[in-house]
Amino acid sequence: MKILVVDVGGTNVKVLATGQKTPIKIPSGPAMSAKMMVAKVKAATSGWKYDVVSIGYPGPVVRGKPVTEPHNLAPGWVGFDFSRAFGRPAKVINDAAMQALGSYKKGHMLFLGLGTGLGAAMIVDGVIEPMELAHLPYKKGRTYEDYAGVRGLEKRGKKKWRKSVEDIVDRLATALGADDVVLGGGNAKKLETLPKGARLGDNANAFKGGFRLWEKTR
């Protein structure tokens, strides 16, 4: 079975398929709807062969369907029929959960994605649970995402941002009882030193998670 993996982000959509070596990156942003995303992905992968599709979505997903519109993209994602649009069976999972699935080794793992926003997922003994922590209150009436996301990095600078990330990792790992913390997302590489108990993820693990999503049902 050949799998097309689509990792939807607020800045780019990244795409890879079984048998392909190099991911394709498609700019996204606040004008991109689900319909536009599918059209651009199909155009960019017109020579690729695949049987099924895995989609990492930047927002809450319940029973394989987005339940709220994304914060950093255009509306039109809730209720969209991805299987019909791609012409293939499609599975949708929260994007942080997809990268977490590709990063998981064992035990209680907390995944935090430091990207445009703040993605989060927990895997407990192989059972994955996407978590919407980004918009919970953190400090001074602001959310975790306000401090750890790209807005916090740009507004407060790298030094303060790094201190906030360290504090957030410690708070969340302690609260959730994580014995393994993985930091992924495009901004994770901007950390000079990793918070205690954390390891650096790899954005390629999102693709690995997308492939694993179908392995369980083979």
Long-range contacts of 37-45 (CB under 8 A, 24+ apart): 37/6, 37/8, 37/13, 38/82, 38/85, 38/86, 40/13, 41/4, 41/6, 41/13, 41/15, 42/86, 44/15, 45/4, 45/15, 45/17
Helix (H, G, I), strand (E, B) or coil at 128: strand
CB 23, CB 207: distance < 8 Å: yes
* pTM for the whole structure: 0.84
Q: In the numeric block, which tokens belong to residue 111?
A: 């995944």
What structural domains does the chain harbor? Answer: 3-97+206-215 (3.30.420.40), 106-201 (3.30.420.40)
* 23 contact partners, CB below 8 Å, separation of at least 6: 14, 15, 16, 204, 207
Q: How far apart are CA 24 and CA 212, in angstroms?
A: 20
Q: In the numeric block, which tokens belong to residue 82?
A: 């991805």
Q: Per residue of the chain (218 residues), what is the pLDDT tens digit? A: 999 999 998 889 999 999 999 999 999 999 999 999 999 999 999 999 999 999 999 889 999 999 999 988 999 999 999 999 999 999 999 988 999 999 999 999 999 999 888 989 999 998 998 888 999 999 999 999 999 999 999 999 999 999 999 999 999 999 999 999 999 988 999 999 999 999 999 878 999 999 999 985 43
CB 128, CB 40: distance < 8 Å: no
Q: In the numeric block, which tokens belong to residue 24?
A: 């394709």
Assign residue 195 a region: left if phi > 0, alpha if psi is -120 to 50, beta otherwise? beta
